[in-house]
Chain A
Amino acid sequence: MQQGSGTTKFVRADGPDKVTGSGRYAADMVLPGMLFAAFRYAEVSHARIVELDVEAARSMPGVLAVLTDDDVPDVRYGAGVADRTLFARGVVRFEGEVVAAVAATTPEAARSAADAIVFEYEELPAIVDVEQAIEPVSPLVHAGWEDYEASTERGHNVASYSSITLGDTDTALAAAHTVVTSRYVADASHAVPIEPRAVLAQWEGDKVTIWSSTQVPFDAQAGVCETLEMPANRVRVVVPHLGGGFGGKCGFHFEAHVAALARAARRPVKLVFTRREEFTAPDRRREGMVIELTSGLDADGRIVARTGEVLIDCGAYIADGAFFPQVASMHIAGPYSIPNVSIEASLVYTNHQPSGSVRAPTAPQGCWAVESHTDELAETVGLDPVEFRRLNAVREGATGPSGQVYGPIGLLDCIDAAVASASYGTDLAADEAVGVAVGWWPTFAVPSGAYVKINGDGSGQIITGAQECGTGSVMTLCQLAAEEVGLNPEDFQLVYQDTAAGPWDMGATGSQTLVNNGRAVVAASQQIADALKKLAADQLEASPDDIELLEGQARVVGTPAASIAIGELAAIAAGGELLLGHGSGPPPVAPEISATCVGDQGMAAWVAPQFSCHAIRVKVDRDTGVVRVLSVAAAHDSGTIINPMGAQGQVHGGVLMGIGQALSEGTVYDDRGNQMNPGLLEYKLQTIADAPPISIDFVGVAAPDGGPRGSKGIAEAPNVATAAAIANGIAKVVGARLTQLPMKPERVWEASSGAAEAGGR
């Protein structure tokens, strides 16, 4: 395994706080005079509001504020399509839509007042099936959609459409030696952070401070500014310890509701979600998908053409889903060299809870479909699935399905490493098999910023806008700063998760912290390094160009005896020009592509793409359909690994989340669009007792267009190919394909007994 540039074993700075219980989460916070918030939800997935009367609730004891759409600025918001208001207006479009909000002196008083709000409605037909929703005869989720401000390509119940076209698929398919068509359906699922969210808001004059369990404080801040019509410098979002997110806490959620309540009540107000609310109210659900794809092969088993159609269940509002169709299309294409590609994808409005970025949105589902299909292709031409992938996978110099030509990438290395670690090809018991799948995921190149200062005593501080959601990535920044200025990572302390302190950052989303904020921290640290070198040069009577900063010392290169402690230089600076650095650095530029993209969201040209191969050994109890994952070999090209321990943690977590998506995690809806399992009893997460041994190989190909030291992202990639590899293992054992995700025991049993009846194994 390739080790990162980091030499020391890296212990997360927030670990002791979390383990001992001394750490504070948003729900732990208490302010004098604080009130409690409760929401009144639609609890019906599609209805016209007939009456909304809050007078009785307002006059209940202990109630200090009750708000509805009438009480907040008239603002429609939404990224890509402005389809949303803070409170329901005229129509409710999913069961968790907020109709009204209450602030009262106790949680119980708030709850009873919310229940006492008179909310009468006329039910409308629930639109719950994406295939029916796009038919012109289907009723609309948003009757007035054509009047919404939008920057996406839209249509009938389609919030965002996108296509990727390369070459000529008609001709290529007509000439193909073999053509295979498959259809796959993925159920929706959830992020399920262990901490249900909490938001606390307090006003001082015309400024508001909001403590929120968000992964994206600047996004939350922007949402508050937009909906409450405030300037950014009056809205401060602070994030205490975050109890996980997995994408579920990305986006702007309830910060404005709570801030508006606190302003109306003239008291601090706190909102704490129950588990049920965490399942039903946020616009962050992993989208259900219907995927149809067709591939043509030549006589040697090369993929010559692929067409695909993807329908993605958007739910009631677009949230951050505008780019989903394009990223889903890339996954249906897969990391293969295919000269003729035509894939269309639509994000389809329904009366389900809105979908939003959950750890690699659309990718595990798309990868599961395409990699199941890939095994079908291999079988058709009589090739071993691994050989088939080696033949078709993208590699350095090759052209990918959007026409991007790749620089140094390690997909083939990933395949080699994973199949070797999994002892692929050795004999196994009849109820066991190793399934293999490859996956990919972009690195997001976005702006970011950081300040670095060295105090008079030689200790350092990084003030960053980056957010921590449990990945440890922000803490890795200390390592980068330390390497630049010649100190130890422990010499640095972080100030972060506070929009009033740090410069803008996209947040704990898109696996982007190390790549983008790392770049900013390196840039800021380089300013300090330059200043230190100048100071040292003065002291040591040398040229700044000849000074190196190492192990706490500034030294003249080649003359180790001529040195001065960086602490001493810091003391000198403290009496003169202070050691301050600020950095952002230009984000890498998106590569050229040759495909035609309608509804382009910038997701077909991938900076520093990440690749992976998972080889997973499964065992299937054919009599019950229960699948157990016995071991996982995960190989990843995430560029240079800066912090091996942190990167491994991401793979462990991503794989386990992927196993859940594969086998047990699926949201079940009734035919009126209501969730039937919004709780941890019936929504089955994997537990630590289910965790298999996971071996990890980082193939470590430095990315020329990546982040510091040639790094890429890592946090989302590990659950991309997990469900896919498990599916291929199951199919080998039972002799049939599972065409719906999750591959629950009953579905495996049905497929297995169907195969047995059909004369299979």
Chain B
Amino acid sequence: MQFVIAETLEHALELMASGSRPIAGGTDLVVGARQGKEPLPDALVAIDRLGVLASIDGGTGEDGEIVIGACVSHATIAGHGDIIDLVPGLADGSSLVGSPATRHVGTIGGNIMNASPAMDTGAPLLAAGAAVEVASTRGSRLLAVADLWLGPGQTSVDSDELCVAVHIPRPGPRTSSAYVRLEYRRTMEIAVVGAGAQVSLSDDGSVASASVALTAVAPVIIAVQGLSEVVGLQPGEAARTVARLASEQSRPISDLRASDRYRRHTVGVMASRAVLAACRRAAGEEIAVPVNRSEGIGAGYPGDAVANTTADGVEL
């Protein structure tokens, strides 16, 4: 087995051109190999030390886009002021990943390129209309995340292409987002189902536009279709409609975590809660990241925020 630490982006791309697989945090790749999902590849190129992949641009460019380097960790995203302000739904997602250790080494690039239907940044990115920038020795290109995932563990990106960044369009005024997931415990959990919503409100508080994406109810993260139905509705009514659409459009499997029936029901509940939280944020209310903890979704409840920290104040 060959393991090379890339010195530059070009170095990484050359190694990938000759067949190396990238490894960032290794929290999917190594753990998956240990669980017997897929053996470790023969050649690995470590990209976690490439500074160019580790920065966040919170919208300073002329199009105001938010650009997140592929190797930015979930911990960084969850605590980043610009992301919390502009795309809190993504911060909600990143802050739910695994444990503090997983969040410190696990990266957004690894999360989306691993293409698990249960990934927690997928739905918020899809709801935000994000795009992925990939590069190879042949050049670079941008593709919508909607076009990235083909199935569990499968992407439309070629094997020599490295994800270098995620681009998120700057949300307009009175627009915000939220991501919630159903979880059976409060840490080290994996989404049973989840939903991310981005909502823009009109001046009268009704929904001007909405996009919603669902986690773990199909082979890939899916976008809820037909959301023009909710335009003009007040948040409560909009949330109920989204819940119905989400349940109808989900195609969940039954497995150890849940039956398809239960998933179909609860994804509606999650979608409704995501829409409501996004609407409240869009209206200017502050709901701390992650919504799961501050609003008591899944296994968390309002009023027991104390239990988010240990007696010594260490965050869980």
Contact = CB atoms under 8 A, between A and B. Distances in A.
Given A628-B301, A664-B184, A681-B190, A746 B262 contact: yes
A549 to B, nearest CB: 39
Interface residues of A, number: 29
Interface stretch (B57-65, B135-143, B231-239, B302-310): B302-310
Contacts of B301: 619, 621, 628, 630
Interface string A213-253: 00000000000000000000000000000000000000000
Interface residues of B, number: 29
Given A623-B269, A626-B298, A679-B35, A690 B259 contact: no
Contacts of A691: 307
Given A623-B269, A624-B266, A679-B35, A690 B257 contact: no
Contacts of A630: 301, 304
Contacts of A628: 299-301, 304
Nearest to A659: B185
Nearest to B183: A626
B188 interface: yes
17 contacts: A621-B298, A623-B269, A624-B298, A626-B299, A628-B301, A630-B301, A630-B304, A677-B256, A682-B257, A687-B185, A687-B187, A687-B316, A689-B186, A690-B186, A746-B259, A749-B262, A749-B265
A688 B259 contact: no
Question: Which among B184, B186, B190, B296 has the greatest number of chain A C-beta atoms within 10 A?
Answer: B184
Interface of A: 619, 621, 623-624, 626, 628, 630, 663-664, 668, 676-677, 679, 681-682, 684-693, 744-746, 749
A681 B31 CA distance: 11
A688 B310 contact: yes
Contacts of A749: 262, 265-266
A689 B185 contact: yes
A540 to B, nearest CB: 50
B295 to A, nearest CB: 11
Contacts of A745: 182, 184
Contacts of A668: 256
Contacts of B188: 687
Q: Which 8 A-B pairs have the closest CB atoms?
A: A689-B316, A689-B186, A689-B187, A623-B269, A746-B262, A682-B256, A687-B187, A690-B185
B126 to A, nearest CB: 23
Given A628-B299, A628-B301, A686 B307 contact: no
Interface in B263-316: 265-266, 269, 296-301, 304, 306-308, 310, 316
B289 to A, nearest CB: 16
Given A628-B299, A745-B182, 14 more contacts: A619-B301, A626-B299, A663-B184, A676-B256, A682-B256, A684-B185, A685-B185, A687-B187, A687-B316, A689-B185, A689-B307, A689-B316, A692-B307, A749-B265
B52 interface: no
Interface of B: 35, 182-188, 190, 256-259, 262, 265-266, 269, 296-301, 304, 306-308, 310, 316
A679 B36 CA distance: 12
A619 B301 CA distance: 8
Question: Which among A630, A684, A689 has the greatest number of chain B C-beta atoms within 10 A?
Answer: A689
Contacts of B186: 687, 689-690
Nearest to A682: B256
Contact of A624 (B182, B259, B307): B182
B184 A744 contact: yes
A628 B307 CA distance: 11
Nearest to A746: B262
Contacts of B257: 682
Contacts of A690: 185-187, 299, 307
B262 to A, nearest CB: 5
Question: Which among A621, A686, A693, A744 has the greatest number of chain B C-beta atoms within 10 A?
Answer: A621
Contacts of A676: 256
Contacts of A663: 184
Given A679-B35, A681-B190, A682-B257, A626 B307 contact: no
Contacts of B307: 689-693
Contacts of B269: 623-624
Contacts of B259: 746
Contacts of B316: 687-689
Contacts of B298: 621, 624, 626
A624 B298 CA distance: 7
A324 B299 CA distance: 34
Contacts of B308: 689
